[in-house]
Structure 1
């Protein structure tokens, strides 16, 4: 057995930190991860819609995939751990065996298991497996959903093993599950064969707006308690009502601010083009925030925006060509630079290669250079691959991958970037070659 935060350290806090044992509470968490590849388990705090980043917990895992730790926890809190929602309560002794292939097979035992098993097993979609409870029309489906929700509420009232602090929250979760099922009904009936996200947004928006009057009482029940935004299921449901139904959250200033900020942060994270306008909006929002945790989270994103905003100077990095010669990004100054960060083992990367070859051919003779930067661990495999699959780009190898990943914040591949002739960003998260006209127009307008 081992502990990430030792009992001795906690006792020191009690003795020298002026904190009594009653005030400073702890919880023990132990268990195993099905995939021993993971060395750290991230527990993402869901307080205020997951915006309280400083309360995230990271638990170390040994070589066998096991963990056993004591953490300070002064109040109950919900966490997202991979695909599972985990409820931690002070003084619990919770054992979790995570199944990364099927989150419903994750096992909870020990003190604190009852609430987590309720979330896992008694809080699934009211539409049933494969949406079997979807009826021929919304009214019939709603009746079925409402009846099933009443059964769950009845079971909840009879359950005496759940912590009293959790029972009322579980009741509200069932209310949220009803709203979720109402919205999902339209997804299954009107959007089942649609893959265009804009069309789905339009259809769901129209449908959800049409039923808002019938779900407003349920929504008001959730909005009446600001604490409920700490529960991921409830927050997600209210957010969906805002996204699809444009529901009015102004009756609760805290809910309104939190949901608005969460949606804006998602916009930032998904933005393909970090413009000065987006940066300005982020800075304006930051100036108006009053919650210190909100400020920290948005400030962190703004730091990233400033780094990659259009016009910001690129971080010069050093590569190797196929012969081992050192090549810097700055060596291409004076030309427009389109970069593909990729690897031979990356399926989506290789899928882009034919389109990349066509893009290169289209701009042959123009003042633009196309780079393919490999992040392969196996340099020999990369060298062998590019001899067989030459597409016309300048082939480079990232010898210092850790530095590249950190400086350019490459969290996934393929990743593309468009750099100006003056070595400033035009688009740090550029469109891929298969976007065809979109990236072609961007390159043409930047020449």
Structure 2
């Protein structure tokens, strides 16, 4: 009997210890259109939590010490703070004013503070200040935020961590202010003093955002003719800066992964072998490897020579137009919207291209992503937009196939219906008319 009691005690102790190394999280999503799961990202793991029909789900996260992480639903990402043994309820609420987050449970007070509006960060107007005034304002933000934090009576462990998070929240724009300015040595020294390499800081979005910006800033200063450098040249320059200057293995891996993933996400895989080689050599973190490999696989589906995903959209007159209609011709596709200012700025250049390549085997197709179809039609008529004007009608299969995350976006399809360039240069880029001119000349010489 005594042996049984001892065994029971040991079992309960083991259960208690296990409980103290984890956090139970309950998630509720109040949204009529629950289109995806809720993502949790921690230092050593990440997971996508799928909601049930009622918009609820639960998960036990392995947390052996207090730490920050992120939670994401749809387009919004928020910071969270988890403590072993303390449960947390996360509520995402789609309101008329937008997507909001609330917290309940043992860890609610700290998480509501982190995501509340009691602390301050620099605003656009601060960029107009002189350097000494700007730094004085930065110091004032830091002091005010610390005063608010100290008034809450949180435990010392959280206070120290949160002071650091708030510091990077405020100082995250130092590198942005320095761009296109001749800042003093003292200012540059202040920036460099914040480039601390401590592994736990990678939990903080504010720290990683600052480090990415600061590293890109200092790497750019060392790159000759930066304004005319390609995205690939800039990326390789930044990666080499990281390898030469960052000593912490964890921070180095994070930065290499971040810049490599960003490159693949924006430029695709057609010219990514050098970036991929650096990533494979330097990054051993399994979560980062999985993210990179998944993105690379997606990019391979829109690599040069791959069969292009088709579309069937209605034009301005209600006639159905498909990609198959252009077989035997190059198709320069412009993805845009009436509300997108950069898209509208490209239109005069697009018109010039259309005129320049009349009578060749190059067609120009504009695809609008406007939700307001009537506004699109009115804009096309009012501004006498030529070319082939199509509207998605809410069908985003083509956009998703090409991983369109921002507009304007330009795609070039070859006469065989295969991808020539999934991230084609803009109409205003001199490289565009040069490349299309080469294709048109090759076509003329084929007769």
Is TM (by shorter chain) over 0.5?
A: yes
209 and 344 in structure 1: CA distance in 2 versus 1, 3 angstrom threshold: same
Partner of 2:26: 28
Choose which of 253, 260, 264 in structure 1 pairs with 2:256.
Answer: 260
Q: Is residue 304 from structure 1 mapped to residue 295 from structure 2 by the alignment?
A: no
Shift in Å, 1:268: 2.8
Contact 1:40 1:60 in 2 (8 A): no
Q: Is residue 364 from structure 1 mapped to residue 340 from structure 2 by the alignment?
A: no
Taking structure 1 as the reference length, the TM-score comes to 0.68
Alpha-carbon distance in structure 2 between the residues aligned to 1:94 and 1:321: 45
Shift in Å, 1:170: 1.0
Alpha-carbon distance in structure 2 between the residues aligned to 1:352 and 1:148: 40
Alpha-carbon distance in structure 2 between the residues aligned to 1:315 and 1:104: 35
Taking the TM superposition and a 5 Å limit, the aligned residue runs for 1:241-260 are: 241-246=214-219, 249-260=245-256
| Deviation sequence 1:28-84 (CA, Å, 0-9, x none) | 234756xx5665564452648xxx6x434455796xxxx544222222442154164
Choose which of 118, 142, 146 in structure 2 pairs with 1:149.
Answer: 142
Partner of 2:59: 71
Contact 1:183 1:208 in 2 (8 A): no
Contact 2:141 2:170 in 1 (8 A): no
Unaligned runs of 5+ in 2: 1-16, 220-240, 441-447
404 and 113 in structure 1: CA distance in 2 versus 1, 3 angstrom threshold: same
Q: Is residue 230 from structure 1 mapped to residue 203 from structure 2 by the alignment?
A: yes
Partner of 1:443: 436
61 and 151 in structure 1: CA distance in 2 versus 1, 3 angstrom threshold: farther
Alpha-carbon distance in structure 1 between the residues aligned to 2:363 and 2:209: 44
Query: Secondary structure at 1:337's aligned position in 2?
Result: strand
136 and 367 in structure 1: CA distance in 2 versus 1, 3 angstrom threshold: closer
Taking structure 2 as the reference length, the TM-score comes to 0.68
Q: CA RMSD in A?
A: 4.6
Alpha-carbon distance in structure 2 between the residues aligned to 1:377 and 1:149: 42
330 and 137 in structure 1: CA distance in 2 versus 1, 3 angstrom threshold: closer
Query: Secondary structure at 1:219's aligned position in 2?
Result: coil
101 and 240 in structure 1: CA distance in 2 versus 1, 3 angstrom threshold: farther
Shift in Å, 1:419: 2.0
Choose which of 330, 335, 345 in structure 2 pairs with 1:336.
Answer: 330
Query: Secondary structure at 2:260's aligned position in 1?
Result: helix
| Deviation sequence 1:217-236 (CA, Å, 0-9, x none) | 5433xx1x302101111222
Query: Secondary structure at 1:55's aligned position in 2?
Result: strand
137 and 365 in structure 1: CA distance in 2 versus 1, 3 angstrom threshold: closer
Alpha-carbon distance in structure 2 between the residues aligned to 1:287 and 1:422: 37
Taking the TM superposition and a 5 Å limit, the aligned residue runs for 1:6-45 are: 25-30=23-28, 32=30, 39-40=35-36, 42-43=38-39, 45=41
Alpha-carbon distance in structure 2 between the residues aligned to 1:121 and 1:260: 33
